[in-house]
Amino acid sequence: MNVAIVGLGVVGGSLALGLKGNPDYTVYGIDIDAGTLKSAMDMGMICGGSRESQEILPLADVTVLCLYPDVVSRYVEQNAALFKPGSFIMDVTGVKERTVAQVKKVLPPEIDFVFAHPMAGRENRGIAFASGEVLKGANFLLTPVPSNKPENLDLARKLAKDCGFGRITEVTPHEHDRNIAFTSQLSHVIAISLINSDTEEYDTSSFVGDSYRGITRIASINQDLWTQLFFGNKENLLEVIDNFQKQVALMREYIADENEKGLRQLFIKAARRREKLK
């Protein structure tokens, strides 16, 4: 199977590394940066690459778009005549309802589009931070739409498994966005807010431990990507922020009132719910 990965950054590069050495796949790369393509070739993650889509897309049985959400439909529209008839496209974007709506308007009728979201991102950007190891055992989300061909969904599942992903979950685009607002986007809101709430009165680095480092790791954020993700899922994200603020307010109330019973119950509830995530 010929796979074209468009955008060899952290996610695209990691997917390429996940397929590296697998005889079932011949992986090509498309990227606007010549240095990135050279690095990909030097690392052996692709067998060929180009800055020009017309040199690669007609060869691809599967095209994986590792692009920012606002670019996906534009890329499909601009390159509609280049996709191999009978092939299918996948994406990796963290917002689905808006992406699905945009792509439907421009997708050629002979091309299928399987909407996907690998849950294995990293806080850094660029091919230098790509790693096949981060895919191993990670969650992979599929959001099928009625027009998807069963055989293409099967191939998408196989590709995910062959990259190293563990659990594959299928949900509607709406369910995806509601859940991702909580598990992913709110986590970034919290990390950023925590970092920015520092008064910087002292040398914070002298006082941090593993808990602070763990919580704030993702505050080293790709501001261009995450601005699009936040705005693209605005309503769901605002809802979970409101719910989170209610919980913080409740904890503040219990601390202010020295309500030991109430505070302990919050701790117990959180510990029990965290155990279920294992």
Kindly give the pairing relationship between strand 116-118 and strand 112-114.
unpaired
Full domain range(s) for residue 39: 2-171
Which of 171, 200, 222 is the C-terminal boundary of a domain? 171
126, 205: one domain: no
Question: Per residue in 147-174, pLDDT tens?
Answer: 999 999 999 999 999 999 999 999 999 9
213, 78: one domain: no
Question: Per residue in 232-256, pLDDT tens?
Answer: 999 999 999 999 999 999 999 999 9
Distance between CA atoms of residues 61 and 72, nearest Å: 18
pTM: 0.91
- Label residue 220 by pLDDT band (50, 70, 90): confident
Looking at residues 195-207, what average pLDDT do you find?
Answer: 89
154, 199: one domain: no
104, 85: one domain: yes
41, 116: one domain: yes
247, 180: one domain: yes
Phi-psi region of 145 (alpha: psi -120 to 50; beta: other; left: phi over 0): beta
72, 133: one domain: yes
The CATH number assigned to the domain holding 17 equals 3.40.50.720
Asked whether the predicted pLDDT for residue 128 surpasses 80, the reply is: no
Distance between CA atoms of residues 83 and 93, nearest Å: 20
166, 182: one domain: no
- The encoded tokens of residue 191 equal 């990390």
Looking at residues 114-131, what average pLDDT do you find?
Answer: 83
Based on the structure, what is the number of domains in the chain? Answer: 2
| Least trusted range by pLDDT, from 24-33, 71-80, 206-215, 263-272 | 206-215
Looking at residues 65-83, what average pLDDT do you find?
Answer: 96
130, 259: one domain: no
Which of 102, 137, 171 is the C-terminal boundary of a domain? 171
> Which residues fall within 8 angstroms of residue 128, CB to CB, at 6 or more apart?
39
208, 139: one domain: no
The CATH number assigned to the domain holding 214 equals 1.10.3660.10
144, 190: one domain: no
Asked whether the predicted pLDDT for residue 262 surpasses 90, the reply is: yes
3-state secondary structure of 191: helix
Which of 119, 136, 171 is the C-terminal boundary of a domain? 171
158, 184: one domain: no
